[in-house]
Amino acid sequence: MTPATGGAADGRGRHDHRDHRLHDRLEAFEEAAIEAELESGRREETVAQAKRHLLFRLGRIVAGSLICLAGLFLLVLPGPGLVVLAIGLAVLAQDVPFARRLLDRVRARIPSDAEGNISKPILYGGLAVSVVAVSASLWWTLLR
């Protein structure tokens, strides 16, 4: 140990202290998340069930966010951007309250018939245009 750094001679003492603080914060965050999950009273009765449900929730949030991002790209690119955005918001709405409100606004903008169903020609046409555009751009970029 060197007197100047208060740690090892290679200067890692300070980094070890930061890693320890980060580890403590992550543990505290995990404990608080598990406690909140157990208090929500849904399906979790044990800590293991709460941890598993947290992982599923995190997976849904990540997947919903990625689908929403793809939908935002498809708003300016050829494809059914609003439909993909609505799908992503529907995935997010299970865990994120503002996504439910936003999903209602997006659904109102999607062309639909009197029963609220999405028009099949619009849906299939948008998907076909998306597949053709992506295929053409991949061909142009990689295979020409």
44-76, pLDDT tens digit by residue?
667 677 777 778 888 888 998 998 898 888 888
pLDDT value, residue 12: 55
In whole angstroms, give the CA distance from residue 144 to residue 138. 9
| 51 and 105 both lie in a single domain | yes
- Categorize the per-residue pLDDT at 1 as very low, low, confident or very high, splitting at 50, 70 and 90: very low
Confidence (pLDDT) at 114: 63
Same domain, 47 and 10: no
| Span 76-89, pLDDT tens digits | 877 777 788 888 88
**Per-residue pLDDT tens digits for 12-37:** 556 666 777 877 777 777 777 777 76
- Whether residue 94 has pLDDT greater than 80: yes
Question: Domain tally for the chain?
Answer: 2
Give the model confidence (pLDDT) of 103-128 as tens digits: 888 777 766 666 666 677 777 777 77
pLDDT of residue 31: 78
| 118/93 same-domain check | yes
The answer to whether residues 28 and 51 belong to one domain is no
Q: Do the Cβ atoms of 53 and 43 come closer than 8 Å?
A: yes
Same domain, 137 and 79: yes
Residues linked to residue 118 through DSSP beta bridges, in sequence order: 112
The continuous run of DSSP H or E covering 67 comes out as helix 47-76
- Domain interval for residue 4: 1-39
Distances (CA, A) of 135 to 81, 85, 95, 143: 17, 21, 34, 11
Q: What three-state secondary structure class fits 125?
A: helix
Q: Under a CB-based contact definition with an 8 Å cutoff, are residues 100 and 88 in contact? A: no
Together in a domain, 21 and 71: no
**Residue 89 CB burial class (10 angstroms; 0-12, 13-18, ≥19):** buried
Residues 16, 52, single domain; the answer is no
Q: Do both 48 and 65 map to the same domain?
A: yes
Whether 83 and 106 share a structural domain? yes
Q: Do residue 60 and residue 113 come from a single domain?
A: yes
Confidence class of residue 41 from pLDDT cuts 50, 70 and 90?
A: low
pLDDT score of 91 more than 60:
yes
